[in-house]
A and B are shown apart, each in its own frame.
Chain A
Amino acid sequence: MLSDTGQKLYHWLDERFNLTPLIDYMQHKQVPVHKHSVWYYMGGVALFLFIVQVCSGILLLFYYQPGVDSSHESVRFIMTKVNFGWLVRSVHSWSANLMVFFVFVHMFSTFFTRAYQKPRELTWMTGFILLVLAMTFGFSGYLLPWDELAFFATKVGTDIAGAVPLIGEAMKIVLRGGDDVTGATLSRFYAIHVAMIPALFTVILGLHLLFVQRQGMHEPEAFKKLKPEQKKMIPFFPNFVLRDVLLWLIILNILLFLAVLFPWELGPKADPFVSAPEGIRPEWYFMFMFQFLKMLPAHIGFMEGEVAGILFFTLGGLVWLLTPLWAFKKRGKVDIMLLCGLLVIAFILVMTVIGYVY
């Protein structure tokens, strides 16, 4: 009976939207299996964590009230009075961090397997934009509980944005909604966090997934060279999808473990009139930039050190975004791209460690 209804519904939809070719395509889609296959799942994990973010974020929205007099209080209310509010908030915070982490892992795995090469240039670029948007998610969400550390970290963060040549000051004022971090900043960050970035993220993510589905998984060089009968493949559905779900469940277990055993704390309420507390630091994924800017001398040539640092990261980001357009091909045993990638990872790791240790 149910099956009949399902069939009828499918025919009804197929008649109107011509679904059969799409279903056929999905049924025949294959995923390569090789020693680097594990990296195929990283994007899926990031996607799963994004879904967790959306769900937990919507739940938080039921109670969160943006405002200087209500943000901190409503987050405290969520954590102490709302049933499972503590869990939802903790999951949201942990999941945000894990998502950024897996987006980084996904990006570097793509870089090292040279998956950005033709015809996947746009997949790489949309992926990089998603990383930037994920970091913006983190930056804007950090302020929303309106606690002391977040307040001062946002002050420092927007000050850095203000040092950008020509447009910096205007950008800072637009971000802050005035000269200083106030209730106006909080409202803006809220709008950015729950409306602007989600809308943009969803569109870019849609494109990214569409590209991945249309072009299929990238095959590493060694795998490509194999004869068709030597290539080990598994169907995308159900094999790959079920493996994806299996990993998602493991990640869900880890996420719950972290959220319950290490609940995300809420610091004292922000007070703009007290002096900045010790230990102000951005979230870990901004630490390498923050530390590098801190270590720069006051002046580099004719430029202020901070301005030079911002220019360095802007240009670096642009070069990274355009990787498919300039990437060097592997010549013999010399793999310049591998060296580039390792150098970037070493830079990020060293700066982050220095930032936390000193």
Chain B
Amino acid sequence: MKNQNHASFLCLAAMAVLVLWAAGLRAAEDDPPLSETDQCLSCHLDDDVMPQDYGEHDIHMQKGLSCAGCHGGDPANDDMDDSMSPAAGYVGIPDKKDIPRFCGKCHSDIDFMRQYQPAIQTDQAEQYGHSVHGAKLMRGDTSVAVCTSCHSGHNIMPASDPRSTVYALNVPETCNKCHGDAQYMKKYDIPTDQYEKFKKSVHGQALLEEQDTGAPACNDCHGNHGAMPPGITSISHVCGTCHINNMEYFAGTKMAAGFKKKKLHGCEECHGNHEVPKPSDKMIGDDKSSVCAQCHESGDKGFLTARVLRTRLDTLAAAYRKASVMKERVNSLGMDDLDIEFILQEAKQSLTKARTMIHTFDTLKVSALTTEGLVKNQQAIREARVQIEAYYIRRKGLGASTFIITLLIVALYLKIREIERRQKSTTGEV
């Protein structure tokens, strides 16, 4: 009986919790939208005087900051004069030159920002001050980009949101809005074809065509809030952020020291900048199309080194192609090509390593890697030959077994006929 009472009590308590929870849910569902409680939004929407670039997915709006969060004023007061008075803290529309400070009010305040994201960056305004944009703005040039130029004013979304103007795939278009406008950029006397060049580059193809967000956009080389063109010393560090080995190998060469002395950009001299083409073995060597021939002359040491390096790479690349063709043949014959695939992956790795090692311009180091790759290719070719041979052995085996079994069939058929003939002769019937 006592147990029954306990059970009834527990049931009642559970039901009460459920009812309260449901009521809570209902209350949450019934919360009126911001456009009804926020007087700024309410009037501006009614009068259709919202900013042109307003978007309801704006991150500030999503976090409940609404108009007064930036422009000040009292959003609870429906009297326009009172709510938009300096007494209510209304600051209105900031001048373009004040925008970095205007946004920085909150975005540079870690105590304020950490309530939204504990690990958020708060140095954007400071970085901006050191950028070319920021420096020019301070000198009174209001044509330069400020926060709203890239992030938009009223439709700001996190950089991780594909709809954002600063999402990796959208960054080149965003920068190009100003940097691609020849008229707008006229007074700065800088090229305006970066975007067109970038689109054709190996980076641009990967980012814009293949939608590979790991590929660099403008901000990955130039910085974003602290954007400026990389200098002579920093260019190889910019490229080296991703191409670490290439940077380290090149940094240790005599050529790097020579470049520095002659104030030549490290990587850019051979690979270009915005229009970085997909690197190929043709870039190195002694023929006219190679980048080496742009500086080295026939007979000099660098010219000879380039020839040796190119020969090594060509030999390995040709061997790899041959082994790959053999592997394809094995595959087309329906034989097992998995082991060959693994060996070829190692050979490909040696080729990639050798191509990277080119940046040391050390023929011995490159030769060591190409020899390693050649051995792997030979191994793959041997394995492929074994498989192709096995393919023909299997067919020969099938031929032999078919012949033997067919002989047995014929022999058995003759035997049956003989038995039946014998039976017929002894019994007169089958």
Contact = CB atoms under 8 A, between A and B. Distances in A.
Interface of A: 33, 76, 79-80, 87, 232-235, 238-239, 242-243, 245-246, 249-250, 252-253, 256-257, 260-261, 263, 265
Contacts of A265: 334
A34 to B, nearest CB: 13
A232 B420 CA distance: 13
A76 B412 contact: no
B409 A246 contact: yes
A80 B339 contact: yes
Given A246-B409, A249-B409, A256 B401 contact: yes
A239 B412 contact: no
Interface string B386-430: 000000001101100110011011001101100110010000001
Given A253-B405, A256-B398, A246 B339 contact: no
B402 A256 contact: yes
B402 A246 contact: no
B86 to A, nearest CB: 59
Nearest to A247: B409
Given A80-B338, A242-B419, A249-B405, A261 B398 contact: yes
Interface residues of B, number: 22
B419 A252 contact: no
B423 to A, nearest CB: 8
Contacts of A256: 398, 401-402, 405
Contacts of B339: 80
B336 interface: yes
A261 B409 CA distance: 21
A242 to B, nearest CB: 5
Contact of A239 (B395, B408, B409, B416): B416
A76 B338 contact: yes
A87 B402 CA distance: 15
B405 A243 contact: no
5 contacts: A232-B430, A233-B430, A238-B419, A253-B405, A256-B402
Contacts of A245: 412
Nearest to B407: A249
A74 B334 CA distance: 19
A87 B401 CA distance: 13
Interface in B70-86: none
B416 to A, nearest CB: 5
Given A238-B419, A242-B416, A263-B334, A257 B398 contact: yes
Contacts of A250: 409
A260 B336 CA distance: 14
A246 B415 CA distance: 11
A87 B394 CA distance: 9
Contacts, number: 52
B412 A246 contact: yes
A45 to B, nearest CB: 14
Contacts of B415: 242
A263 B412 CA distance: 29
A252 B412 contact: no
Nearest to A262: B334
Contacts of A76: 338
Nearest to B403: A253
Nearest to B402: A253
Contacts of B402: 253, 256-257
Contact of B430 (A234, A252, A263): A234
Given A232-B430, A242-B416, 20 more contacts: A33-B430, A80-B336, A238-B419, A239-B419, A239-B423, A239-B430, A242-B412, A242-B415, A242-B419, A243-B416, A245-B412, A246-B412, A249-B408, A250-B409, A253-B402, A256-B398, A257-B398, A260-B397, A260-B398, A265-B334
Contacts of A243: 416
Nearest to B409: A249
B413 A246 contact: yes
Contacts of A261: 395, 398
A253 B408 CA distance: 11
B406 A253 contact: yes
B413 to A, nearest CB: 6
Nearest to A234: B430
B342 to A, nearest CB: 12
B194 to A, nearest CB: 39
A304 B405 CA distance: 54
Nearest to A260: B398
Nearest to A33: B430
B268 to A, nearest CB: 42
Nearest to A242: B416
